């Protein structure tokens, strides 16, 4: 006589489910039968950091669902995301599973694609460099003050595009006292707000440390073009900034910070210009040529070149940069950098161009295209570049 698996005790089913580490496995477990589903919470709270999914551009305007590519299964997963269906909207980062969505209004929306939870950050018009905002001043809605004190104007789209990336300290669903930091494109300044604030504030002394920002153990770390580090403590009302001047001055086009275990890593991206041809037209496009990895040696301090990431893989782009162990997931390769295009104006400005995206293999310097996004994939409608989003059910 066979075993009736639907009759397993609820406490045993709950214990088994709490040992599942992947969100997709948890979903499959609950899908077995009604008994298994009723014995486990719909939203798991025990899961470790998950493998990011790659949010792909929509195939047409005002499409309510978006495709997310799952590396571990080599499949597409579709989620309802009407908030990003408008071509005028722009994603300005993903952090702890939450998308940052901007449009041609002052609103800044935080959205969890899985749970559908939403929060609003203080508006763009509350940024400390905004002198005034008026919808009736068409084409010059924002009046801004430069670091030197001069006034200048920006329209709605220009203000939307003035934010390079927004990074969160923690998952807002698990900690309401979260902090957000925004990197300003043109001035290289950092601004921050705490949940519940009405406006954003400058972080004095951190200007030009605007290549990337990460959060680690209560502090934000920001990096400049040459590998200098600003450690920002915004827990009190008066931010404190400590500058770490490294002996090693790094060259490269872009820098990314990674918290990898007990080490602070720096990923340096080198770009080159290439011709991209289409019938009747040709285009100059930026293309990633190589990456270099360094780790911060605090005695000195200096950056030390890293030849191998071993089992680690890193994910960089407009997302909050992160590192994971490849052995924890199927379908992934260690010692690799999974990268997206986060520098080209064609990301969101309607220009024709090929997104620079792929898998960089550190051991031989080769670049492998992602299966869902082969080279020579052109998007003409001004949709944002693909974006890594960590599935976070709560």
φ, ψ at 182 (rounded to 5°): -115, 135
Q: Considering the chain, what is the average pLDDT of its residues?
A: 88
* pLDDT greater than 70 at residue 276: no
Report residue 186's pLDDT band, with 50, 70 and 90 as the boundaries: confident
Pairing status of strand 53-55 against strand 65-70: antiparallel
Burial 67-96 (b: 16+ CB within 10 A, else e): bbbbbbeeeebebebebbbebebbbbbbbb
pLDDT tens string 194-240:
999 999 999 999 988 999 999 999 999 999 999 999 999 999 889 99
DSSP secondary structure of 346-362:
GGTS----B---EEEET
Q: Which of 188-197, 198-207, 276-285 has the lowest mean pLDDT?
A: 276-285
Predicted pLDDT at 89: 84
How large is the average pLDDT for residues 266-282?
76
* pLDDT greater than 90 at residue 189: yes
Taking the C-alpha atoms of residue 32 and residue 17, their distance in angstroms, rounded to an integer, is: 12
Taking the C-alpha atoms of residue 254 and residue 5, their distance in angstroms, rounded to an integer, is: 54
Q: Per-domain residue ranges for the chain?
A: 1-47, 48-389
* pLDDT greater than 50 at residue 102: yes
* Other Cβ atoms closer than 10 A to 227: 24
Record the tokens describing residue 200, joined without a space: 């954003």
pLDDT tens string 299-320:
889 999 999 999 999 999 999 9
Using omega within 30 degrees of 0 as the cis cutoff, is the peptide bond preceding 142 cis?
Answer: no
Instruction: Kindly state the helix (H) or strand (E) to which residue 10 belongs, with its residue range.
Output: helix 10-17
Taking the C-alpha atoms of residue 327 and residue 334, their distance in angstroms, rounded to an integer, is: 8
Q: In what order do the strands lie in the sheet with 151-154?
A: 130-133, 142-145, 151-154
Record the tokens describing residue 14, joined without a space: 């709950």
Classified by CATH at the fold level, domain 48-389 comes out as Neuraminidase (2.120.10)
Predicted pLDDT at 346: 43
Taking the C-alpha atoms of residue 313 and residue 363, their distance in angstroms, rounded to an integer, is: 12
Assess contact for 211 and 139: CB atoms under 8 A.
no
Q: Which of 174-178, 273-277, 318-322 has the lowest mean pLDDT?
A: 273-277
Torsion angle of the four alpha carbons 288, 103, 151, 179, in this order, in degrees rounded to the nearest 10: -80
Q: 3-state SS string over 63-94?
A: CCEEEEEECCCCEEEEEECHHHCCCCCEEEEE
Nearest in space to 197 (alpha carbons), one of 120, 94, 133, 134: 120
Taking the C-alpha atoms of residue 159 and residue 316, their distance in angstroms, rounded to an integer, is: 24
Taking the C-alpha atoms of residue 44 and residue 42, their distance in angstroms, rounded to an integer, is: 6
Assess contact for 168 and 180: CB atoms under 8 A.
yes
Predicted pLDDT at 351: 47
Taking the C-alpha atoms of residue 334 and residue 325, their distance in angstroms, rounded to an integer, is: 7
Taking the C-alpha atoms of residue 113 and residue 94, their distance in angstroms, rounded to an integer, is: 10
């Amino acid at each position: 006589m066979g075993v009736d698996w639907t009759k397993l005790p609820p406490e045993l089913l709950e214990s088994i489910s709490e040992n599942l580490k992947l969100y997709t496995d948890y979903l499959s477990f609950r899908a077995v039968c009604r008994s298994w589903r009723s014995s486990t919470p719909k939203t798991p709270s025990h899961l470790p950091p998950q493998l990011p999914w790659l949010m792909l551009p929509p195939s047409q305007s005002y499409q309510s669902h978006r495709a997310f590519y799952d590396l571990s299964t080599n499949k597409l997963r579709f989620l309802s995301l009407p908030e990003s269906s408008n071509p005028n909207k722009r994603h300005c980062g993903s952090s702890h599973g939450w998308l940052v969505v901007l449009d041609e209004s002052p609103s800044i929306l935080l959205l969890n694609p899985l749970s559908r939870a939403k929060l609003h950050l203080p508006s763009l018009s509350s940024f400390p460099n905004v002198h005034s905002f008026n919808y009736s001043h068409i084409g010059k809605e924002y009046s801004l003050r430069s670091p030197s004190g001069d006034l200048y104007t920006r329209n709605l789209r220009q203000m939307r595009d003035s934010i390079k990336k927004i990074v969160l300290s923690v998952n807002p669903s698990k900690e309401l006292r979260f902090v957000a930091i925004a990197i300003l494109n043109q001035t290289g300044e950092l601004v921050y707000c705490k949940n519940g604030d009405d406006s954003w504030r400058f972080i004095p002394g951190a200007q030009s440390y605007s290549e990337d920002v990460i959060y680690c153990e209560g502090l934000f770390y920001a990096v400049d073009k040459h590998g200098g580090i600003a450690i920002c403590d915004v827990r009190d009302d008066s931010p404190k900034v400590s500058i770490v001047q490294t002996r090693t001055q790094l060259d490269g086009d872009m820098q990314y910070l990674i918290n990898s275990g007990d080490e602070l890593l720096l990923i340096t991206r080198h770009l080159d210009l290439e011709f991209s041809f289409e019938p009747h037209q040709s285009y100059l496009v930026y293309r990633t040529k190589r990456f270099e990895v360094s780790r911060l040696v605090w005695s000195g301090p200096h950056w030390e070149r890293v030849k191998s990431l071993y089992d680690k893989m890193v994910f960089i782009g407009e997302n909050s940069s992160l590192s994971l162990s490849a052995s924890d997931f199927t379908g992934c390769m260690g010692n690799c950098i999974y990268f997206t295009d986060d520098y080209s104006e064609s990301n969101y400005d309607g220009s024709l161009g090929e997104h620079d995206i792929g898998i960089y293999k550190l051991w031989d310097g080769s670049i492998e295209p992602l299966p869902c996004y082969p080279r020579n994939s052109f998007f003409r409608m001004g949709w944002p570049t693909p974006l890594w989003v960590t599935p976070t059910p709560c």
